[in-house]
A and B are shown apart, each in its own frame.
Chain A
Amino acid sequence: MVLSYREALNQAMREEMRRDSRIFLIGEEVGYYQGAFKVSKGFVEEFGPQRVVDTPITEAGFTGLAIGAAMAGLHPIVELMTMNFGIVALDQIVNNAAKIHYMSGGQLSVPLVIRGPGSAAHQLGAQHSQSLEAWFCHVPGLKVIAPATPHDAKGLLKSAIRDNNPVIFIEAQLLYGTKGDVKDGEYTIPIGVAEVKRTGRDVTIVAYSKMLLLALETADQLSREGIEVEVIDPRTLKPLDLSTIVASVKKTGRLVIVEEGWRFCGLGAQIAESVYAAAFDYLDAPIQRVTGEDVPMPYSRPLEDAAIPDKARVIEAVKSVCGIQ
């Protein structure tokens, strides 16, 4: 069945909330407004305002409330209107959600999903265009998921909701309207398993979330020039399925990592370091990273375009690792 990314998320939450009454959705506009991005369309009618909880604009307060509720046995889903507002709740996410299980010696746990749109859309300005996944990945005690397709979004959100740990679930805003085949019936996708989205012999590209679509599009174009790119989507950024990436690099001998986040201390730096450690002898060229520029996101369209990876830069990186001008 063909669904939009938005509909796939809606189905995942709906099916899980029907299955388990401990699950509730909380955030700004999730109820009567049906979600700022309409991910919770129809929820308040089906589940009522006790389980689809509209909040004031207080991310630290309601994220903290959700963490406390999780400690007492509920399974909250926190919707952040954008992941940028997660910064407002960062004390709760980093100091409480990520640490309570460890600090308590395993006595308490925080089964919680914090989800919402991330990365740049169209000219939203610096405070609404950030790709913060590297921040969350840096903190022990959190899982981080960034699916690119409707099928992955549904299966991984269900796994995230069933997980007994705090999970940050990042949905690129520009993906909500994208469509794709979603398997019929009940299914989940395990957290920590990457997928080869396209097979190829010459170069491996690792790309996640919105950048996966860019990588696949670029791979099709390069194929017409005779370069066969293998594209890997890690899907879950932490835990990271390194073995699938390493197996691909051992086959192709070349790696390009594409990420929308900032270059300095970005996720790609971690992936590159891990691949160097595991498969240095298999590499025929230094690993290339295509990243967002290290600047706050500008508003102006041409400047915004220049700050985000595009097809030309991915092609340049692939040709560079292949030794082609």
Chain B
Amino acid sequence: MDRGDVLFLYRQMLLIRRFEEKSAEMYALTKIAGFLHLYIGEEAIAVGAIAALRSDDYAISAYRDHGHCLARGSDPGHVMAELFGKATGLCQGKGGSMHLVDAPRRFMGGYAIVGGHIPLATGLAFATKYQQLDLVTVCFFGEGAIPSGQAHEALNLAALWKLPVIFVCENNRYGMGTSAERAIALYADVAETARSYGIKAERVDGMDVLAVRDAMRKVVEQVRAGQGPVFIEAMTYRFMGHSMSDPAHGHYRTKEEVDEHRKRDPLLLLKQTILNNNLGAEADFIQLEREVGEAVTAAVRFADDSPFPAPSALYTDVMREE
């Protein structure tokens, strides 16, 4: 463990946490509308997985995508402006919370049809193999996508053609308000689904950013070397509701259950590890809180100060012109 590394991972998770807490406030103030699906509690997966990638590798996500986008290095101001629907947003206000895209950072988007982006990930991987590039594609999705036909079709193609793709299943135990055990035949071992297609699969503690990063580091090299796809089931828990319309524990789980999982908050776990290993002190965390707080405040200011898109933007980018 390296002090710089672990403090960076903590900072990334803290940025996502504070950014999303601020997003929830902005939603309450109606500056953000539509659906807003928060990633709070799951930060260790995006941060740990993306820390194992090169800057030219591809990442793609579903509708709970703020964390992946920020972990990939997107500017928080441009992300917040997108949530505000402003012209300076990552997608000029045309994507919104569920469709963040940052192509220069190889963040290929958030997609809002469950299971529908998994074939896209196999296509990105197909392209890099076709182009004889040594890139990997990482595809994030919830366990709720596992029973979908498109997930199975994509897993089969990826295995059949040994595509350089890593499927990261963020198992937060609930697909909206339906627990995995009421939706998935193999809920006790979701990774078995991938193994049935001959894909190497393993389960990791998705609350432990170092465990996620280390598991990813190991498999990224295998996948980059052409050994075919890998499936990682990261066990996690979302501390908030499915979306802003859904209270934190909803009707489908108890407050006690949520509180139990909050004891394994990925930020607390890493902080404890850092302190236990003398890689940082309270002063470092106070400093990080200040820096991240300032960055999020600046992001909101940028989004607030930005203009809405001009009416003419309605008609641009329907088709690529050249």
Residues of A that sit less than 8 Å from B by CB? 24, 50, 55-56, 58, 60-74, 91-92, 95-96, 100-109, 111, 140-141, 143, 164-165
Residues of A within 8 A of B109 (CB): 100, 103-104, 108
- Contacts beyond the supplied A65-B126, A102-B318, A105-B95: 10 A-B pairs with Cβ under 8 Å: A64-B118, A64-B123, A64-B150, A64-B154, A70-B123, A73-B127, A91-B116, A104-B94, A104-B99, A164-B322
- Selected contact of B101 from candidates A66, A95, A103, CB within 8 Å: A103
Residues of A within 8 A of B99 (CB): 103-104
Complex A-B, nearest 6 residue pairs according to Cβ-Cβ distance, in ascending order = A68-B123, A64-B119, A61-B153, A72-B127, A105-B92, A105-B91
- Selected contact of B319 from candidates A61, A73, A103, A141, CB within 8 Å: A141
Residues of A within 8 A of B93 (CB): 105
Q: Is A58's CB under 8 angstroms from B318's CB?
A: no
CA distance A204 to B1 in the complex (A): 78
Q: Is B156's CB under 8 angstroms from A105's CB?
A: no
User: How many whole Å from A325's CB to the nearest CB in chain B?
Assistant: 47
Residues of B that sit less than 8 Å from A by CB? 58, 89-95, 99, 101-103, 108-109, 111, 113, 116-128, 130-131, 149-150, 153-154, 156-157, 160, 316-320, 322
User: How many whole Å from A306's CB to the nearest CB in chain B?
Assistant: 36
User: How many whole Å from B320's CB to the nearest CB in chain A?
Assistant: 4
- Selected contact of B122 from candidates A24, A65, A96, A105, CB within 8 Å: A65
Q: Which residue of B lies closest to A109 (CB)?
A: B320
Residues of B within 8 A of A63 (CB): 119
Q: Is B317's CB under 8 angstroms from A102's CB?
A: yes
Q: Is B130's CB under 8 angstroms from A74's CB?
A: yes
Q: Is B150's CB under 8 angstroms from A71's CB?
A: no
Q: Is A61's CB under 8 angstroms from B126's CB?
A: no
* CB pairs A–B below 8 angstroms (7 shown): A58-B157, A61-B150, A64-B118, A68-B123, A69-B127, A72-B123, A107-B91
Q: Known contacts A65-B122, A108-B103, A108-B108; is A103 also within 8 Å of B154 by CB?
A: no
Q: Which residue of A lies closest to B87 (CB)?
A: A105
Residues of A within 8 A of B121 (CB): 68
CA distance A141 to B318 in the complex (A): 5
Q: Which residue of B lies closest to A143 (CB)?
A: B319
User: How many whole Å from B314's CB to the nearest CB in chain A?
Assistant: 10
Q: Is A56's CB under 8 angstroms from B320's CB?
A: no
Q: Is B101's CB under 8 angstroms from A67's CB?
A: no
Q: Is A68's CB under 8 angstroms from B120's CB?
A: yes
Residues of B within 8 A of A108 (CB): 101, 103, 108-109
Q: Which residue of A lies closest to B58 (CB)?
A: A72
CA distance A55 to B130 in the complex (A): 16
Q: Is B150's CB under 8 angstroms from A101's CB?
A: no
Q: Known contacts A104-B101, A141-B318; is A69 also within 8 Å of B123 by CB?
A: yes
Q: Is B124's CB under 8 angstroms from A56's CB?
A: no
Q: Known contacts A61-B157, A104-B91, A141-B318; is A68 also within 8 Å of B126 by CB?
A: yes
Q: Known contacts A106-B316, A165-B320; is A92 also within 8 Å of B116 by CB?
A: yes
CA distance A92 to B108 in the complex (A): 16
Q: Which residue of A lies closest to B154 (CB)?
A: A61
Q: Is A96's CB under 8 angstroms from B101's CB?
A: no
Q: Which residue of B lies closest to A65 (CB)?
A: B123
Q: Which of A64, A102, A108 has the most chain B CB atoms closer than 10 A to its own CB?
A: A64
User: How many whole Å from B180's CB to the nearest CB in chain A?
Assistant: 23
Residues of B within 8 A of A96 (CB): 111, 116-117, 120
User: How many whole Å from B134's CB to the nearest CB in chain A?
Assistant: 14
Residues of B within 8 A of A106 (CB): 92, 316-317, 320
CA distance A67 to B92 in the complex (A): 22
